[in-house]
Amino acid sequence: MISINIEKKLKTYGGQQWLSINHDFATGSTTKISGPSGAGKTTFLKIIAGLTSPEKGIIRIDDTFWVDTSAKINLSPQKRMAGFVFQNYALFPNMTVREHLEYATKDEVWIDRLLKVGKLETLTTHKPEHLSGGQQQRLAILRALAVKPSLLLMDEPFSALDSEMKIALIAELKLLFAELGLTVLIVTHNAQELDGLCNGELRIDTNEKP
Amino acid sequence: MPLVLPPSVLGFYLLLAFSPQHGIGKWLHDSFDLQFVFSFQGLILASVIYSMPFMLGPIKSALQQLPSSLAQASYTLGKSERETFLKVLLPNIKPSLFTAMVLTFAHTLGEFGVVLMIGGNIPNVTRVASIAVYDSVESMDYSTANTYSLILFSITFVLVIGVFIFNRTQAKSPLE
């Protein structure tokens, strides 16, 4: 079980807003996160990953506190090791497809399996600049999965994929998520694209006061 | 400070700091038998202190231009800041790194004030090309001055052209 109860001040064009989330995510669940632009969906994922900190609150994974502001607990991203798929992919321009996965894990069997899932087996020596948008997005997903995280955070992970590839990849990912017992949080603007993958939903809206 | 101080002023303070009669210079001399004043290693040390800011500026600027998500992605894979810097950030500013190194080298090659102050002008020990040019002109030996100048000019010209060509062909941002 992942328990989250956090508050974070957001600076928006409309002035100061508050992101307040109080939600529990069952272990192994896949949750769709939706909400208007600027509501703080990406910030929410970054808070969970440890890439930014909340003003106050707690994040508890089973019995382990990742964040507890009252006890001044705030684990580093390296200790949390939550898989993160960035909206801009954040691929490393100096690394090939295979090097991306080898940077994350030494498990060659797992790497080969991921390459097969992402249909990138024939592109292992290509660098990101020589991949299409969809291929880059798939690589970003595979890299996040390479460390076999217990929690996977995905920020608009299917936006660059054509519908055929999206359906095939989602089917494969569904099996992988179940196999790894992964808890997954997926930010999306297109709620329909995740039909059949998610079994929960969280809508995020900002408030003027905490 | 080395960016804005006149080289002769920087050289003067380095001369005082590394003088074997007192302070750090005395300690280095007594403890390690190291003498940086009027020695070739002193020239190297002074040149590094003088030129380092010219190199660090472009490198810092290149690092700041990389998207923060690159480092963040590496952290979420469990990598330390050191490993992230060495394996993700540094390789992606290679063109800027190369340009900064070459231009700093060219800049150092023609340095005059700092090296004259700390190294003096000892033949075969601390006399560098730029000082040799000055010396030759002082003694009205324009032919030697011309030879040294031509060598310095050629090396600098080749380096600058090399960097220009490299930037045109290789230095495309890795994120484009």
> Mind listing the pLDDT tens digit for each residue in B85-144?
999 999 999 888 988 888 888 888 888 888 888 888 888 888 888 888 998 999 999 999
| Cβ pairs bridging A and B (under 8 Å) | 61
Q: Which of A78, A84, A93 sits opposite B80 (nearest CB)?
A: A78
Distance set, CA A180 to CA A60, A144, A150, B47, B79 (Å): 20, 13, 8, 56, 22
Query: What six digits make up the tokens of B142?
Result: 């324009």
- Chain A residues close to B76, C-beta within 8 Å: 49, 51, 77, 80-84, 144
- Tens digit of each residue's pLDDT (9 = 90 or more) over A3-57: 999 999 988 777 788 899 999 999 999 999 998 888 899 999 999 999 999 999 9
Per-residue pLDDT at B113: 87
All residues at 6 or more sequence positions from A130 whose CB lies less than 8 Å from its CB, including other chains: none
ipTM of this complex: 0.92
Per-residue pLDDT at A191: 73
**Mutate which of B76, B80, B89, B170 to disrupt the A interface (most A C-beta within 10 Å)?**
B76
Question: Phi/psi class of residue A59: alpha, beta or left (left: φ > 0; alpha: ψ in -120 to 50)?
Answer: beta
Rounded to an integer, what distance in angstroms lies between the CA atom of residue A176 and that of residue A154? 15
Decide if pLDDT at B169 tops 90.
Answer: no
Report the gap between the CA of A61 and the closest CA in chain B (Å): 16
Find the Cα–Cα–Cα–Cα dihedral A178, A146, B76, A90, rounded to 10°: -110
For chain B, the maximum distance between any two Cα atoms, rounded to a whole number of angstroms, is: 66
pLDDT string in tens for chain A (210-residue length)? 899 999 999 887 777 888 999 999 999 999 999 988 888 999 999 999 999 999 999 999 999 999 999 999 999 999 999 999 999 999 999 999 999 999 999 999 999 999 999 999 999 999 999 999 889 999 999 999 999 999 999 999 988 888 888 888 888 888 889 888 999 999 988 777 787 788 889 998 867 665
Rounded to an integer, what distance in angstroms lies between the CA atom of residue A101 and that of residue A120? 12
Rounded to an integer, what distance in angstroms lies between the CA atom of residue A199 and that of residue A186? 11
Per-residue pLDDT at B110: 82
* pLDDT band for position B176 (cuts 50, 70, 90): very low
- Chain B residues close to A76, C-beta within 8 Å: 75
Rounded to an integer, what distance in angstroms lies between the CA atom of residue B62 and that of residue B92? 9
Report the gap between the CA of A193 and the closest CA in chain B (Å): 25
Per-residue pLDDT at B171: 53
Q: Which of A50, A82, A88 sits opposite B69 (nearest CB)?
A: A88
**Mutate which of A74, A78, A101, A127 to disrupt the B interface (most B C-beta within 10 Å)?**
A78
> CB–CB of B77 and A103 under 8 A?
yes
> CB–CB of A129 and B174 under 8 A?
yes
Strands A83-85 and A64-68: unpaired
Cβ A49 vs Cβ A82: under 8 Å: yes
User: At A124, phi and psi to the nearest 5?
Assistant: -65, -25
- Chain A residues close to B92, C-beta within 8 Å: 92-94
Rounded to an integer, what distance in angstroms lies between the CA atom of residue B101 and that of residue B105? 6
CA B126, B131, B133, B136 torsion-angle sign: negative
The tokens 């970054």 sit on which residue? A46
Share the mean pLDDT of chain B. 87
Percent of all residues in chain B with a pLDDT value above 90, rounded to a whole number: 31
Q: Whose CA is closest to A49, among A19, A21, A74?
A: A74
The per-residue DSSP string of A77-99 comes to HHHH--EEE-TT----TTS-HHH
Per-residue pLDDT at A69: 95
Per-residue pLDDT at B4: 78
Query: What six digits make up the tokens of A169?
Result: 């990849």
